[in-house]
Amino acid sequence: MPDGGSTGIGASVKRKEDYRFLVGEGNYTDDINRPNQTHTYMLRSSSAHAKFSLDTSNASKAKGVVKIFVGTDMEVGSIPCGWQVDSKDGTPMREPAHPPIAKDKVRYVGEIIAVIIAETLEDAKNAAELIDVNYDDIPVIIDMQKALDNSKGLVHDEIESNVCYDWEIGDSEAVDKAISEAAHITSLDIRNNRLIPNAIETRSAIGDYEHATGQYTLYTTSQNPHVIRLLMGAFVLGLPEHKLRVIAPDVGGGFGSKIFHYAEEAIVTWASNKIRRPVKWTADRSEAFISDAHGRDHVTSVKLALDKDGKFLALKVDTLANMGAYLSTFASSVPTYLYATLLAGTYTTPAIHCNVKSIFTNTVPVDAYRGAGRPEATYLIERIVDKAAREMGISQVEIRRKNFIPVDAFPYQTPVALQYDSGNYNATLDAALKKADYDGFASRKAESAKRGMLRGIGFSTYLEACGIAPSAVVGSLGARAGLFECAEVRVHPTGSVTVFTGSHSHGQGHETTFAQLVSEKLGISTDLVEISHGDTNNIPFGMGTYGSRSLAVGGEAIVKAMDKVIAKAKKIAAHIMEASADDIELNNGNFEIAGTDKSMSLADISLAAYVPHNYPHEELEPGLDEKAFYDPLNFTYPGGCHICEVEINPNTGEVKVEGMTAVDDVGMVINPMIVEGQIHGGLAQGIGQALLENAAYDNNGQLLSGSYMDYTMPRADNFVDFKVGNEVTLCTHNSLGVKGCGEVGAIGSPPAVINAVVDALSELGVNDISMPATSEKVWNAINNAKDKS
């Protein structure tokens, strides 16, 4: 790995973006106020499924009210979904209309039914109390299994079924045959619990229409402002790009939940024209719980067929995936192309089949949350592998080694569409075993036992596909957009550089990592580099940040633009120094004529480019400013090994994480400090899913876990220090060799935690526990096991 000098590739450069956050001068959406702005309160449905009518006449007259809008006032397009998934019979997915404000029927608690715009937020809230809403309740559909029976009721009458699509991948005949002949079959039923992303900054949006110019500006908490401009502009409001500017300023965490185009964005933008004043909306936390897209929520049954030696022969997976009441932007792709294509994991399983039915229910829409589909796939693979090992008396480590894709098998074509480019799963496993002091586990377990405690260790040797995404591939899979990235590298006259990137940083540290790429390639310090992102008026185009794509796709676009800058700079240098461009070499920021001591710095060249007195005008235009689009050839495939060690108090059921080790292969590492930070955060969310977090609905469609009192957010004392390491195999199809690190922590860790819990309880005969493994659940499992024995 290059050492990169002080600020290049491989250096743990301290983050350039920190200062403004540390002194309280970040600029988040809710910190922005526009002159003459109004405030909005969204009145939301309190019923999960009902015909409704409302009377706003009293509220309209209330103090400070500027305007109240209801669904029929806002005749605009439907909020679109970005992926079309076809059912196995060839029919396209069922795609119900999704108006920004419900018109006469509500389908989940939290759906917007009226928009109250007033001089102050307090006025808007007070007025909302005066709105009379009449709900005529309809039977509520929460349980996915029940939703399959259309006679129990429909979430959307017009689409005549609660099934969005019934989709499959893989060779079912081969799988069935292998299962019928196998020496051993392991089965498992799994629920991947519904989660609420909970970025600490809640969503916020300000619409600002300027009448004199016809220009709209939307400030919004988004991970991808250009995508919002496209979805909202083209599909919902019918506004052309040149009249619509979307700004996503500092954003306080996303984790997927700020990818999607939400109703509130369209509402404030549209309303600011109607009332000719800026319109501001900020969610409070209770509102975020019932209006941010939720994550996960799969119910799956899985079968693994093995030969007598523990070699995997076939994997059969049946999944019901909750879509919630409407299709959110990425929703349809999450349980299909981001999930079932991952089911080979790190193993050579020759036959795989997966069937997915995605289901509409009267709940908040479900969409991508950190990992999106890949944690669900990883969870079921790593759980069933563990269970199979236990049933067959093979060690947890051995069964994995037996089935790993060997290093010499890359590029490796899986039976479920993907072709992995590189990896070394034994290397990450070995390093993790060492880091976790696996050899010392038996004595730690004995020591726990002395104190009456149960100790367990759990593994996950996972893989994921990210760097989303090769446009041709995802286009053939139903994506309605390309997933390339764009960058512009502008060298200024005196040699400093601004990079305009379509990636969006909301905690990932792009302002530092991307500056390091420039430092490495152009040989200047990161202090001379500014990264600009988040404003559609500044950035040529962008697909944004999700799917661990910023470096592998956005970073590559920057490299490609820099290559163009360098090529042009060489021509300029050649002209001035009277040499051939082919003889110019770039070394440490100097453009040198090979074999001579003649050279020019980047600053000399850029000055000549902008003050072109002596300049090759016949060949080149003045200026040094280049743009590039990069479309990856394949996904990237980070993978690794997570090992969790837990201690359980059998008297209380309390699970304590005693050790969490992660050795990941994320390809080339640009900034180790930032990569480790990303992995820490992912691990915390993964452990949170495994032990603490759960979004629960009652049968009437009321969210039971609708605040921090009921939804258990991980806190500092839920964790110990994480042990993080890395092993590198390079991605073979991008120039940096990078794979992506944003999601691995959340993808790999949940099965490691649950496998550890099961390991601790296995001596009592417990062989499964569902997420989250709360004290209560574990205590019950222990006592049920005792009753049986």
Partner 1 sequence: MEISITINGKEVKANIKANTLLSTFIRENLNLTGTHVGCDTSQCGACAIHLNGDAVKSCAILAAQADGAEITTIEGIANGDELHPMQQAFHENHGLQCGYCTPGMVMSSIKLVENNPNISEEEIRKGLEGNICRCTGYHNIVKSIKQAATEMGG
The residue from 23, 200, 212, 709 that contacts ligand FES (CB under 6 A) is 200
434 binds, among ligand FES, partner 1, none (CB under 5 to 8 A by kind): none
How many Å apart are CA 615 and CA 495, to the nearest integer? Answer: 17
Residue 677 lies near ligand FES (rule: CB under 6 A) = no
Residue 249 lies near ligand FES (rule: CB under 6 A) = no
The residue from 478, 509, 554, 701 that contacts partner 1 (CB under 8 A) is 509
Residues in Cβ contact with 93 at an 8 Å cutoff, skipping those fewer than 6 apart: 84, 85, 86, 87, 164, 165, 327, 332, 358
Residue 201 lies near partner 1 (rule: CB under 8 A) = yes
Least separation in angstroms between CB 288 and ligand FES = 12
Using the minimum distance from each CB to ligand FES, give the nearer residue, 18 or 763: 18
22 binds, among partner 1, ligand FES, none (CB under 5 to 8 A by kind): partner 1
* Residues β-bridged to residue 189: 301
Least separation in angstroms between CB 348 and partner 1 = 33
Residue with nearest beta carbon to ligand FES: 200
Least separation in angstroms between CB 508 and partner 1 = 7
CA atoms within 13 Å, Cβ hemisphere of 727? 21
Residue 709 lies near partner 1 (rule: CB under 8 A) = yes
How many Å apart are CA 623 and CA 203, to the nearest integer? Answer: 40
Residue 14 lies near partner 1 (rule: CB under 8 A) = yes
**3-state helix/strand/coil string of 611-639:** CCCCCCCCCCCCCCEEEEEECCCCCECCE
Using the minimum distance from each CB to ligand FES, give the nearer residue, 202 or 636: 202
Least separation in angstroms between CB 283 and ligand FES = 13
Residue 198 lies near partner 1 (rule: CB under 8 A) = yes
Contact 311, 403 (CB under 8 A): yes
Using the minimum distance from each CB to ligand FES, give the nearer residue, 681 or 772: 681
Site string for partner 1, 93-112 (x = CB under 8 A): --------------------
Least separation in angstroms between CB 284 and partner 1 = 5
Least separation in angstroms between CB 513 and ligand FES = 16
In the numeric block, which tokens belong to residue 511?
Answer: 């302002």
Residue 707 lies near partner 1 (rule: CB under 8 A) = yes
How many Å apart are CA 464 and CA 773, to the nearest integer? Answer: 24
How many Å apart are CA 748 and CA 686, to the nearest integer? Answer: 8
- Burial status of residue 651 (CB atoms within 10 A of its CB: 0-12, 13-18, 19 or more): exposed
Contact 779, 766 (CB under 8 A): no
The residue from 1, 31, 150, 446 that contacts partner 1 (CB under 8 A) is 31
The residue from 10, 253, 350, 650 that contacts ligand FES (CB under 6 A) is 253
Contact 271, 237 (CB under 8 A): no
- Burial status of residue 752 (CB atoms within 10 A of its CB: 0-12, 13-18, 19 or more): buried
97 binds, among ligand FES, partner 1, none (CB under 5 to 8 A by kind): none
In the numeric block, which tokens belong to residue 585?
Answer: 């070499």
What is the secondary structure of 575-598 as a DSSP string? HHTTS-GGGEEEETTEEEETTSS-
Site string for ligand FES, 449-488 (x = CB under 6 A): ----------------------------------------
Residue 507 lies near ligand FES (rule: CB under 6 A) = yes
Residue 716 lies near ligand FES (rule: CB under 6 A) = no
Residues in Cβ contact with 128 at an 8 Å cutoff, skipping those fewer than 6 apart: 41, 43, 59, 114, 116
Instruction: Please report the beta strands in 652-766, taking only residues with DSSP state E, as ranges in sequence order.
Output: 655-665, 722-726
Window 641-680: residues binding partner 1 (CB under 8 A): 673-674, 676-677, 680
How many Å apart are CA 295 and CA 284, to the nearest integer? Answer: 19
To 10 degrees, the CA torsion angle through 282, 286, 292, 295?
150
Residue 21 lies near partner 1 (rule: CB under 8 A) = yes
Least separation in angstroms between CB 696 and partner 1 = 18
The residue from 51, 708, 735, 784 that contacts partner 1 (CB under 8 A) is 708
Contact 504, 226 (CB under 8 A): no
- The footprint of partner 1 on this chain (CB under 8 A) covers a number of residues equal to 55
Residue 17 lies near partner 1 (rule: CB under 8 A) = yes
How many Å apart are CA 160 and CA 696, to the nearest integer? Answer: 27
In the numeric block, which tokens belong to residue 106?
Answer: 């509500």
Least separation in angstroms between CB 41 and ligand FES = 18
Question: Minimal CA–CA distance to 497: which of 526, 474, 477?
Answer: 526
Least separation in angstroms between CB 20 and partner 1 = 8
- The footprint of ligand FES on this chain (CB under 6 A) covers a number of residues equal to 4
Amino acid present at 661 = T
**What residues make contact with partner 1 under the rule CB under 8 A?**
14-15, 17-26, 28, 30-31, 122, 198-202, 250-253, 255, 284-286, 506-509, 673-674, 676-677, 680-685, 707-709, 713-717, 719, 721-722, 745
Binding site for ligand FES (CB under 6 A): 200, 252-253, 507
